Chain A
């Protein structure tokens, strides 16, 4: 029936972007609206058109969900840790004379490129206001951040000739971000 097909199309548009639980909830609301209009005496097509109009445009609903998506908030939080890390690790690398550590140039360049990639991924997730899929990029971004943090800690432990006092702050901060991000990523993937 044309009315039911219109409802199905509307839900399919929402299901292409939003998590299954949210779509179930929206489906209940849309069908309830549809049944309300049927009960008011409209035919199936008119009731479906009225329900869809009353429910709101899928793009508008997806945008409302995207703006507060767990992935978007996770990406914003992880990006906000950047300046803290710069403050913690900057003095450590300078006082520890990081430029003389026995680390191959290729590894340093790869680390820098990977860092840029992770930041770009998180920025895309954090600035996504209309595309729910893009907010989920926070998950790969978070995994990348964990790998980079782990690599940085390994470099300090195995390549630094001596530990300097700012590392007493920087290392626990890195470990805390790893633990925080490991807990955050499954939450982003599940939503």
Chain B
């Protein structure tokens, strides 16, 4: 498994919360969400734009985001914003992630025990 592939698989498990995080500062449409994800990760999470939309639809069905239509430059555009449930979920996931990251960092950076003779 290449590191790129492993990273994509790992991202899959966290995609929902990352999408919620990109919407934390206000409504965004699909392309803007994708760009926020790419820029916010310094280019590491550069997903195909088309795959962002099914993920946003999944979050909408779960009532974590809500979508509204508008017309921009003659095109129909759907923008998404966090619901109260989405905000709550994001807060919970942030706390969980911080605790997880602290635990992993603590283990990875701990001075090793002396080897057993």
Contact = CB atoms under 8 A, between A and B. Distances in A.
Given A28-B31, A29-B30, A33-B31, A64 B51 contact: yes
A28 B48 contact: no
Nearest to A35: B73
Interface string B17-57: 00000000000011100100000000000001111111101
Given A27-B75, A28-B72, A68 B54 contact: yes
Interface string A20-44: 0110111111111100100000000
Contacts of A24: 75-76, 78
A155 interface: no
Given A33-B31, A68-B57, A28 B50 contact: no
Interface residues of A, number: 25
Contacts of B88: none
| Overall SS of chain A's interface | helix
Contacts of B75: 24, 27-28, 31
Contact of A26 (B34, B53, B58): B53
Interface bracket on B = 20 to 34
| Overall SS of chain B's interface | helix
B77 interface: yes
A31 B50 CA distance: 12
Contact of A54 (B29, B49, B61, B72): B49
A29 B50 contact: yes
Contacts of A36: 31
Contacts of A32: 29, 31
Contacts of A28: 29-31, 72, 75-78
6 contacts: A28-B75, A29-B49, A29-B53, A55-B48, A65-B54, A68-B58
Interface of B: 29-31, 34, 48-55, 57-58, 61, 72, 75-78
